[in-house]
Structure 1
Amino acid sequence: MRALILNCTLKKSPADSNTQKLADVVGAELGKHGVEVESVRVADLRVEPGVETDMGDDWTAVHEKLLAAEILVVASPTWLGRPSSVAQRVLERMDAMISETGDDDRPVAYDRVAGVVVTGNEDGAHHVISEITGALNDIGYTIPGQAWTYWNMGPGPGPDYSDTDHGHEWSEKTAATMASNLLAVATALAKQPIPA
């Protein structure tokens, strides 16, 4: 089984990404169960605005990775209480998948599961989770129960995930549950696919 993490930080490599650090906890948990995990930092790629798969940019390669993975994790920082602009662009490009079908005439996102990782030194994580999971569900992904984890400092500005140990134990425990739930539902769908 394969998992793809799309890190939607605004920072390009090699800048430190707090979002990647928490997403890596989910990836490590999946890896313990034999899942092959790949992480892509979308800000490092040329992804044009639009709602098509092939626009002559780097998205086509990301799309291929999406189709090769049974598990998707969208990882986003919180900015102004909302998903990052990179996460929004990812969802807009994934919109094309709604009308894409495989050889079996079923939507290409069927039998795939998705979850969300959110970080930020401000609140708004549940709003970000709701926006991203709602869009992924529209595209055709199955969202298991508690398929998310997040970290924040509460209201107002403050230190980043990397700057403090505050809340890490809870976020990492929730990440382990998220990974387990994603794998359980992905395994169930592999055995009993969603009908066309």
Structure 2
Amino acid sequence: MKALVINCTLKPSPDPSNTQALAEVVAQQLRTYSVDVEFLRAVDLDIRPGVVSEAVGPGDDWPGVHRRVLDADILIIASPTWLGRPSSVAQRVLERMDAMLSETDDEERPVAFNKVAGVVVTGNEDGAHHVISEISGALGDIGFTIPGQAWTYWHLGPGPGPDYLDDDRGHDWAASTGRAMACNLFHAARALTAMPLPAPPS
């Protein structure tokens, strides 16, 4: 089984990413189930604005990301909170995934059917639940199955404050919730592998 984590931090590599650090907790738990986990840092790629899966111009990296999304059984979108909302990078990724609404497999099922998805959020301000709901709602619209409690987050309340990598407070809760998230994602994906959703009625 394969999982893809798209880290939507604003920080290019090799800058440390708080979002990456929390997503790694989820990935570690997935690996205990023998899941092959791949990370992509979207800001390192040239993902052009658009709502198509094909390249919108020379050098557009989205088609390669799209292939990785289709190859994965589990998709995790990891985003920081900025102004109480998902990062602009996360929004760009979701906009490109909008094209998947009209893509079907050989059995006429939406291509995201029988794949599961979850969300990781970090931020030193309020807004984590809003970010989770926005990203989960978009992924559900596209056709992903969102299991119960398929998310984890970390923040220290309203206003400015330290980053995840700078403060140990709240890590135990975020980590235990992340491990539960991984467990739910894996077992939901395994259930869908054993009994796939059929194509929806026309």
Fold shared per TM-score above 0.5: yes
Alignment equivalent of 1:118, drawn from 113, 117, 121: 121
1:35 is aligned to 2:38: no
Gaps of 5+ in 2: none
| TM-score w.r.t. length of structure 1 | 0.99
CA distance, structure 2, for counterparts of residue 176 and residue 62 of structure 1: 25
Partner SS for 1:75? strand
Aligned residues: 196
TM-fit CA distance, 1:104:
1.4
Partner of 1:26: 26
Superimposed CA distance per residue, residues 74-121 of structure 1 (whole angstroms, 9 cap, x where no aligned partner)? 000000000000000000000000000111111100000000000000
Task: For 2:2, give the aligned amino acid.
Answer: R
List structure 1 runs of 4+ shifted beyond 4 angstroms. none
Which of the residues 71, 80, 104 maps onto 1:68? Answer: 71
Q: Which amino acid aligns with 1:83?
A: P
Give the superposed CA RMSD: 0.5
Structure 1 gaps, min length 5: none
**Equivalent in 130, 152, 157 of residue 127 of structure 1:** 130
Alignment match, 1:98: 101
Distance 1:93 1:23 in 2: 22
Equivalent residue for 1:162, pick from 162, 165, 176: 165
TM-score (norm 2): 0.96
Q: Do structure 1's residue 181 and structure 2's residue 179 form an aligned pair? A: no
Q: Which residue of 1 aligns with 2:140?
A: 137
% identical equivalent positions: 66
Separation in 2 of the partners of 1:176 and 1:23? 10
Distance in 1, Cα, partners of 2:109 & 2:122: 34
